[in-house]
Amino acid sequence: MPIVSRGFHGRRPEPGHKLPPGQYETHDFPVLSAGPTPRVSREDWEFSVAAETGERRTWSWADLMALPSQRPTVDLHCVTKWSKFGTDWEGVSVDTLLEGVGSAAEYALVHSYGGYTTNLPLEDLRDGQAWIAFRYDGEDLAPEHGGPARLLVPHLYLWKSAKWVRGIELLLNDEPGFWESAGYHDYGDPWREQRYQGD
Ligand SMILES: Nc1nc2c(c(=O)[nH]1)N[C@H]1C(S)=C(S)[C@@H](COP(=O)(O)O)O[C@H]1N2
Ligand SMILES: [Mo]
C-alpha cells in the first residue's frame, strides 16, 4: 500500500505554529508601507535612544555592527490578517540599546526615517522581546522591508515593527503613533485580536 501523504489542508497552520484568531498563514512576505520607501545609506544612518531626562544616545551603523547580535526565528502577524511562520532575522536586542539608560519612562514612541511612528509600552521592548533587525533570511534587510534596519517586535501586530527605524523616544505618558492615531489599537496583541480601538 502506498504511503498516504499528509496532503495540504488549505489554511491549516504548519505543525508547531499557532495562528492567532482571525489570521491565515501566508508563505509570501507582503510589503505594507504607508508611503514611499525612504532610501537611507548606511553611512548616513543613525539610531538614537532619547530619554525623558534629556539623555540621548546615538549609534552609527558601525557602532550597531560592533554590538552583539542575535538570530531570532519568529512568527509575524499583520493586522491585515496574514501571518508568516518561522521567519529568520538577525539584529541587536533592544535590551542592549537600553542598557544603562536612566529613565522612569513607561512608554516608547518609535520613530522612522520617512516620518512613521508607532507607540508601545517600554516593557514590550525589553526582556528579549524586540530587536533592531538588519538581516532577514540570511541577507541584508531589503529596503522595502525596512532596510537598513527595522524594529522587530513580533509578539504585537506587525505595524508596531517600524521599518527604517531611526530612534526610540522614552516617554512618561503614552502618545499614539501613526496608525494608532488613525484608529488602530493602542497595544495590538494579535492573541487578543486587538486590531482597532475598542477591540
Ligand atoms: N516606517 C514604517 N514602518 C512600518 C510601516 C510603514 O508604513 N512605515 N508599516 C507597518 C505595517 S502596517 C506593517 S504590516 C509592516 C509590514 O512590514 P513588511 O512590509 O516588511 O511586511 O510594517 C510596519 N512598519
Ligand atoms: Mo499592517
- Please give the mean pLDDT across all residues of the chain: 94
Give me the residues paired with residue 47 across strands. 59
- The residue whose CB lies within 8 Å of the most ligand 1 atoms, and thus the one to mutate among 87, 141, 157, 159, is 159
Backbone phi, then psi, for 82, in 5-degree steps? -90, 145
Among 6-15, 23-32, 89-98, 158-167, the minimum mean pLDDT is found in 6-15
Does the C-beta of 32 come closer than 6 Å to ligand 1?
yes
Taking the CA of 80 as reference, the closest ligand is: 2
31 lines ligand 1 (CB under 6 A): yes
Q: Is the pLDDT of residue 136 over 70?
A: yes
**Is residue 14 over pLDDT 90?**
no
3-state DSSP call for residue 64? Answer: helix
Question: Is the confidence at residue 181, as pLDDT, over 90?
Answer: yes
Looking at the predicted structure, is the pLDDT value of residue 11 above 60? no
pLDDT value at residue 4:
41
pLDDT of 109-131, one tens digit each?
999 999 999 999 999 999 999 99
Residue 116 in contact with residue 178, Cβ under 8 Å? yes
Segments of the chain assigned E as strands: 24-25, 46-50, 56-60, 73-77, 82-93, 107-112, 117-121, 131-136, 139-140, 150-152, 165-171
Task: Decide whether any atom of ligand 1 lies within 6 Å of the 84 Cβ.
Answer: no
pLDDT (tens digit, 9 = 90+) per residue, 31-84?
999 999 999 999 999 999 999 999 999 999 999 999 999 999 999 999 999 999
Q: Which of 23, 33, 164 to mutate to test the pocket of ligand 1 (most atoms within 8 A of CB)?
A: 33
The pLDDT score that the predictor gives to residue 13 is 55
> Is 89 a pocket residue for ligand 1 (Cβ < 6 Å)?
no
Q: How far is the CA of 103 from the centre of ligand 2 (A)?
A: 30
The model carries a pTM of 0.93
Return the residue whose CA atom lies nearest to atom 18 of ligand 1. 31
